[in-house]
């Protein structure tokens, strides 16, 4: 008598019916599928701390100066890309624009007032003080200094730095002009000199001692230029834009406001929704036009949502049809939006 298991003959193992090669192929296939499924479901716990640009940073920086900020830009090309990105924000992102304008209004306002004063401990001729005030007023007028002050704040926040170049005419009067950050670059013949990096020539032993600036490939004495930089350490040659750390949040806020306004626009255009209790799309996609039920309501934008393919296992479809009247059947359930209820109340009140 053959062996019995619970009164039934034992079932032959599926693996016993396979030859050696077939069994090996089947097991390899199952192992490959299991590994693929495991890899698809794998979640790196560090992923929550990553951003769009990853989390990798250079191990070491040239010279070791200002590594905390210098790691954000290791050459002039990377600094230029950062500046372009923040300039685009300052020109197109309404939150960045508002931030720049608020800082200008707070720091500059209508402009500062300058007055020539006597140094403590001295008693010069009063006429000399008046002459000094006239020279100062002429400089402010010729340089349009009040307007230039506002632009200095904007440039400093937008680019992270601002260059002012001084010119002296034949009469001895000083004129101030801006130099663009893109103009201050290292000449090709000095790219291998660390003291001349980022378009600024410094002492080889002291990065804070500036000797000259390279403007359009020509050397300009440090006394003829003023360089204001922000958001970096003093031993970093170039500055960083104010909104560089929050540039991604500004873009997200702009997208969020856009999406909210689009959703609100769609919601305000939907006066009511007609519900269909079951059925396929073909059963009501060609339904007759809807007749008005509110004669006093002249023209209201109404959207009819048509939902089809509700069978399990199939993806549902959603179609919006713009109409201008209300559905008449009393047996058909209606969901009237708040916008529609308010509109009906206004029309009934004779508004």
pLDDT per residue as tens, the chain (351 positions): 555 555 555 555 554 555 677 888 888 888 888 777 766 666 666 665 565 555 555 554 444 444 455 557 888 999 999 999 999 999 999 999 999 999 999 999 888 889 988 888 888 887 888 898 999 999 999 989 999 999 999 999 999 999 999 999 888 889 999 999 999 999 999 999 999 999 999 999 999 999 999 999 999 999 999 999 999 999 999 999 999 999 999 999 999 998 898 888 887 777 666 665 655 555 555 555 544 444 333 333 344 434 444 444 444 444 444 444 444 444 444 444 454 555 455 444 444
The answer as to whether 240 is a domain residue is yes
Cα gap 318→106, rounded to integer Å? 51
The answer as to whether 48 is a domain residue is no
- How big is the CA angle at 295 (ends 290 and 301), to the nearest 5 degrees? 55
The answer as to whether 255 is a domain residue is no
Do residues 294 and 179 share a domain?
A: no
- How big is the CA angle at 230 (ends 98 and 56), to the nearest 5 degrees? 95
The answer as to whether 39 is a domain residue is no
Do residues 279 and 174 share a domain?
A: no
Do residues 344 and 312 share a domain?
A: yes
Inter-CA distances, 7 with 1, 4, 11, 13, 149, Å? 12, 6, 12, 18, 99
Residue 191 in tokens = 């790219």
- For residues 240 and 72, is the Cβ–Cβ distance under 8 A? yes
Do residues 108 and 237 share a domain?
A: yes
In this structure, which long-range contacts are made by residues 167-174, counting pairs with CB atoms below 8 Å and at least 24 apart in sequence? Answer: 173/138, 173/139, 173/142, 174/139
Do residues 130 and 240 share a domain?
A: yes
Do residues 227 and 329 share a domain?
A: no
Do residues 155 and 80 share a domain?
A: yes
**331 Cα distance to chain centroid:** 51
The answer as to whether 211 is a domain residue is no
Cα gap 190→92, rounded to integer Å? 37
Do residues 160 and 70 share a domain?
A: yes
Do residues 163 and 285 share a domain?
A: no
- For residues 203 and 209, is the Cβ–Cβ distance under 8 A? yes
Residue 113 in tokens = 């007032």
The answer as to whether 82 is a domain residue is yes
Structural domains in the chain (count): 2
Q: Which domain holds residue 304?
A: 270-348
- Give the three-state DSSP class for 220: strand
The answer as to whether 163 is a domain residue is yes
Do residues 173 and 285 share a domain?
A: no
The answer as to whether 208 is a domain residue is no
- Give the three-state DSSP class for 333: coil
- For residues 240 and 160, is the Cβ–Cβ distance under 8 A? yes
Largest CA distance in the chain: 135
Do residues 133 and 240 share a domain?
A: yes
Do residues 108 and 233 share a domain?
A: yes
- For residues 318 and 305, is the Cβ–Cβ distance under 8 A? yes
């Amino acid at each position: 008598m053959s062996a019995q298991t619970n009164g039934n003959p034992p079932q032959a193992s599926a693996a016993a019916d396979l030859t050696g090669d077939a069994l090996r192929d089947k097991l390899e296939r199952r192992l490959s599928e299991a590994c693929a499924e495991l890899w698809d479901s794998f979640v790196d716990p560090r992923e929550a701390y990553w951003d769009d640009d990853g989390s990798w940073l250079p191990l070491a920086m040239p010279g070791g100066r200002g590594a905390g900020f210098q790691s954000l830009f290791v050459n002039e090309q990377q600094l230029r890309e950062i500046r372009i990105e923040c300039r685009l924000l300052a020109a197109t992102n309404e939150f960045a624009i508002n931030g720049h304008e608020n800082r200008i209004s707070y720091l500059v306002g209508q402009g500062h007032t300058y007055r020539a004063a006597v140094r403590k401990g001295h008693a010069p001729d009063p006429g000399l003080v008046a002459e000094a005030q006239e020279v100062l007023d002429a400089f402010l007028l010729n340089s349009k200094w009040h307007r230039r002050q506002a632009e200095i704040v904007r440039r400093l926040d937008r680019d992270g730095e601002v260059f002012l170049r001084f010119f002296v005419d034949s009469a001895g009067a000083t004129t101030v002009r801006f130099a663009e950050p893109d103009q201050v670059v290292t000449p090709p013949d000095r790219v291998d000199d660390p003291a001349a990096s980022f378009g600024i020539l410094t002492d080889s032993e002291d990065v804070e001692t500036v000797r000259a600036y390279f403007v359009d490939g020509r050397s300009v004495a440090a006394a003829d230029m003023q360089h204001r930089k922000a958001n970096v350490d003093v031993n970093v040659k170039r500055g960083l834009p104010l909104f560089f750390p929050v540039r991604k949040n500004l873009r997200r806020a702009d997208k969020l406001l856009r999406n909210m306004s689009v959703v609100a626009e769609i919601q305000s255009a939907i006066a009511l929704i007609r519900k269909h209790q079951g059925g396929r799309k073909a059963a009501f996609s060609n339904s007759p036009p809807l007749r008005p039920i509110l004669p006093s309501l002249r023209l209201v934008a109404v959207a009819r949502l048509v939902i089809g393919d509700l069978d399990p296992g199939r993806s549902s479809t959603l179609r919006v049809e713009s109409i201008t009247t209300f559905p008449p059947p009393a047996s058909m359930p209606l969901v009237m939006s708040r916008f529609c209820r308010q509109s009906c109340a206004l029309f009934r009140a004779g508004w």
